Structure 1
Amino acid sequence: MTHSYPTSGPVTLHTLLADKNASTKSLTSGVIKSDLVSFNFDAPELIHNGFKPMVRDGKYDWGELAIVTFLQAKFYGKPLVLIPAVIGGRFQHQCVAYNSEHGTLKPSDLDGKRIGVRSYTQTTGAWIRGILQNEYGVDPASVEWVVFEDAHLAEYKEPSNVHLAPKGKKLKEMLFAGELDAAMIGSDMPDDPRIKTVIADPKKDALDWHEKTGIIPMNHMVVARPELSQQRPDVVREIYRMLLESRDLDTKPSNGLQMRPFGVEAMRTSLEAIIEYALQQKIIERRLSVDELFDDTTRALGA
């Protein structure tokens, strides 16, 4: 279903943007204003619960979306275009953990194990699997992946070594009970002395990996309806300006690194990496090019 926008003047856009996102709070709170565009914010408490309506139903004019969900949406021909603005990014090496009550675990022990992750296509999980495979020699095809949610894209069928957890089971409970050998967990990692990271020194390994590869792993980026970009490039440029201003007001670099890069060239290496990881993991079935993720309007932003 296509959508038409006024050809000139101010517009109000139906927007998916978390109000708790550190780098966009000045935008969502109204500190940063615009005479050209205003926003009807509509975000669930868990922002990823807005991703299915975004990619399946075209519910929003623009908003945030996990990069792996966007890559699948692009592969399946959904009407979305990427805006080169990372609004959530972090190193992921610390996000795979095990319960030390059941023994120790290091990357070389993971082949053949049972590992939990919220969804097989979750962006955190895709980054970690890619890192484990390409940096530590883990074979993701040998692992039994236990998931608790389906993919955001209805067309996607998971690989045969991905299994849905029994009804009523929860990831952290299964990890503590020893029903999982390890789990991929993002910002809500349990604060419990029994929980250890599979990668023993994740901060050092992550910084070494970045030094070697140049990759800054993005989680959430920004997308828009292609009609908005085509019909109102001035509005898309204004959204980009506001996002960048909010990022610079609300966040600072970490370890001297800008974890929320803006502009295609600043994120090209990282996008190439997550595309490769998604292809390796059978999340997408064709190697997308970085440039095809954008259109003429969004590709020029930040150039």
Structure 2
Amino acid sequence: MSQRLELTYGGELYDRTWRLYTGEVQPEGVRLRYLHTAIEDLFWRQGKYAEFDVAEYSMGAYLATLKNPDRAFVALPIFPSRAFRHASVYVNADASVSQPADLANTTVGTPEWSMTASLWMRGILGEHYGVDLTSIDWRTGGLEEAGRQEKAPVLPPADLRVTHIGDDDTLSALLLRRDLDALITARAPQAFLQGDPRIKRLWPDFRSAERGYFEATAIIPIMHVVVVRRALLAAHPWLANNLVDAFEAARTPVQHDLLDTAVCTSSLIWESAYAEEEAAVLGDPFRYGVANNAVTLQTLLNYAHQQGFTDHLLGYEEVFAPSTLSSARI
């Protein structure tokens, strides 16, 4: 048997990657060591120190690196994490913010300008709710711990006012004190989870808002992407598509597992009924590939350019390994 390429993958652990984690699925020609790594830690280590050969990474932070001709990584059209983010907008209960239009001329926090959840929601607020993003005072910094910095620095356009809160305060504390009117964050504030009445969601019925967004756009926002060292692809051009194939092979059986009424593969008693209901609305929500996600990707690239992540509107060949943009047909 020929020697296989030894690679280390850093990523969260999902049902759609479980078979890669156990080794049941391996990329052809590769022995993949899968290190289950918590997401904030993973993104910081990969963004700052490039610790992993292949890794799950923030889509927003990755797009922000594309200005650098010496960037270490290139993306593959594998999207291990997707989520609607209307649920991620929190407001101070005493602020005069009860609908999206009320965010104009307020102060809004987000942990990092490059956070993908925030990138999406800023774009959605502007495009679908008419919120003037330039009227908002934007603040970045640690959600629960002071001193958080950007993994991938972004220079927002001059008409967007973005400042860091400093190293002695947190966004959660600012929201509780009403020094912020609102907060966009992928991870919910601890005070909200503990039932503090001073924080509420902008959309209490966020699922209805998110379903309405999907029905209007057919978009399920992409949060994370898989990146691989550029040097590895230069040395082993076959690697990109072999990784794509393996991630797809690991993902494909999951929908069948969820719909199987013989057993519950998760701790949700009505798992199969819920999966059937969701599939009827969303179809195959975690599909990979550029062609399968063209509308979503084009929208994301538009938002990224508008918000200063990129200096021009990127084409797909600038974002992903070119060999993954097409496939053989029979």
Provide the C-alpha distance between the structure 2 equivalents of 1:263 and 1:165, rounded to a whole number of angstroms.
38
Provide the C-alpha distance between the structure 2 equivalents of 1:25 and 1:193, rounded to a whole number of angstroms.
36
Provide the C-alpha distance between the structure 1 equivalents of 2:67 and 2:295, rounded to a whole number of angstroms.
19
Aligned match of 2:317: 291
* 1:202 to partner: Cα distance: 2.6
| Kept in 2: contact 1:96–1:182 (CA 8 A) | yes
Alignment partner of 1:238 out of 227, 242, 246:
242
| Kept in 1: contact 2:66–2:310 (CA 8 A) | no
Aligned CA distance change for structure 1 residues 44 and 169 (closer, same or farther; 3 Å): farther
- Map 1:218-297 onto structure 2 (within 5 A): 218-250=222-254, 255-256=278-279, 257=282, 258-297=284-323
| Kept in 2: contact 1:83–1:299 (CA 8 A) | no
Cα RMSD, aligned residues only: 2.7
Aligned CA distance change for structure 1 residues 107 and 35 (closer, same or farther; 3 Å): closer
Provide the C-alpha distance between the structure 2 equivalents of 1:227 and 1:301, rounded to a whole number of angstroms.
23
Matched position secondary structure for 1:116: strand
CA offset digits 1:226-251 (Å, max 9, x no partner): 33334324433332233223323456
| Kept in 1: contact 2:11–2:56 (CA 8 A) | yes
Alignment partner of 1:54 out of 42, 46, 49:
46
CA offset digits 1:114-170 (Å, max 9, x no partner): 11111011100000000000000111111111111332235x434561111242322
CA offset digits 1:188-212 (Å, max 9, x no partner): 3533263332235432232222222
Provide the C-alpha distance between the structure 2 equivalents of 1:165 and 1:23, rounded to a whole number of angstroms.
37
* 1:57 to partner: Cα distance: 4.5
Percent identity over the alignment is 23
What's the TM-score once normalised by structure 2's chain length?
Answer: 0.78
Aligned match of 1:89: 82
Q: Relative contact order (C-alpha < 8 Å, sep 6+): which is higher? A: 1
Aligned match of 2:131: 138
Name stretches of at least 5 consecutive residues in structure 2 with no aligned partner.
Answer: 142-147, 259-274
Opposite residue 302 of structure 2, the aligned amino acid is E
What's the TM-score once normalised by structure 1's chain length?
Answer: 0.85
Aligned match of 1:3: none
* 1:22 to partner: Cα distance: 4.3
Provide the C-alpha distance between the structure 2 equivalents of 1:193 and 1:31, rounded to a whole number of angstroms.
44
* 1:103 to partner: Cα distance: 4.9
Name stretches of at least 5 consecutive residues in structure 1 with no aligned partner.
Answer: 1-7
CA offset digits 1:212-233 (Å, max 9, x no partner): 2222200011111233334324
Alignment partner of 1:113 out of 100, 106, 110:
106
Provide the C-alpha distance between the structure 1 equivalents of 2:18 and 2:223, rounded to a whole number of angstroms.
17
Aligned match of 1:170: 170
Is it true that 1:17 corresponds to 2:25 in the alignment?
A: no
Of the structure 1 ranges 87-96 and 231-240, higher mean CA displacement relative to structure 2 is found in: 231-240
Matched position secondary structure for 1:151: coil
Aligned match of 1:5: none
Is it true that 1:188 corresponds to 2:182 in the alignment?
A: no
Aligned CA distance change for structure 1 residues 167 and 296 (closer, same or farther; 3 Å): closer
Aligned residues: 293
Structure of larger gyration radius: 2
